[in-house]
Amino acid sequence: MLEEWRDTGEHLVPFVLRYDHTDFESFLEQIDNLKKGVGLKVGTVSSSTYWFISQERKVIGAVNMRHSLNDRLLQMGGHIGFGVRPSMLLKGYATELLRQSLIKAREMNHSRVLLTCDKDNHGSAKTIVNNGGILDYVDVVTGTEIQRYWIEIK
């Protein structure tokens, strides 16, 4: 499953997809530690990971929800990072994944959330706008134009 993502050569989102998953127990422990805030690297905030699974028990996508923001995440990353496996793109899954994520964000007592995407990532931008995202501004971060969107949680 992750090979399909990696084979595209694109940046893996959410970032937990970049973890070594060959030792599945260790992979799950890393995700659990992120949620608990245990052993976080400098500049990392606690976060929860959710998987979007098909009825056939195949991973369609994943989302990482940060419990808070630091200065780096305010520039790039935001509260929610989401990704859908390449073979499942353009089928509405990203929009639904983000919609479900906003429900979780409300449960986490967020009144609004920040999402960011590269300016040339039209699919992510459309998904964010389809879920109520309002473009705040575009900034250049490490040479890449990053769009910042806020979504009010109802």
Measure the N-to-C terminal CA separation of the chain; round to a whole number of Å.
Answer: 34
pLDDT band at 40 (very low <50, low <70, confident <90, very high): confident
Q: What are the pLDDT digits (tens) for 89-140?
A: 889 999 999 999 999 999 999 999 999 999 999 999 999 999 999 999 999 9
pTM listed for this prediction: 0.84
Inside any domain, residue 97:
yes
Pairing of strands 47-53, 80-84: unpaired
* Full residue range of the structural domain in which residue 7 is found: 2-110
Sheet with 144-152, side-by-side order of all strands: 112-118, 144-152, 134-141
**Could you give the CA distance from residue 40 to residue 114 in angstroms, rounded to a whole number?**
21
Inside any domain, residue 11:
yes
Inside any domain, residue 135:
no
Inside any domain, residue 147:
no
Number of structural domains in the chain:
1
Inside any domain, residue 33:
yes
Inside any domain, residue 78:
yes
Inside any domain, residue 144:
no
Burial 59-94 (b: 16+ CB within 10 A, else e): bbbbbbbbeeeeeebebebbbbbbbbbeebeeeebb
**Could you give the CA distance from residue 47 to residue 21 in angstroms, rounded to a whole number?**
18
Inside any domain, residue 149:
no
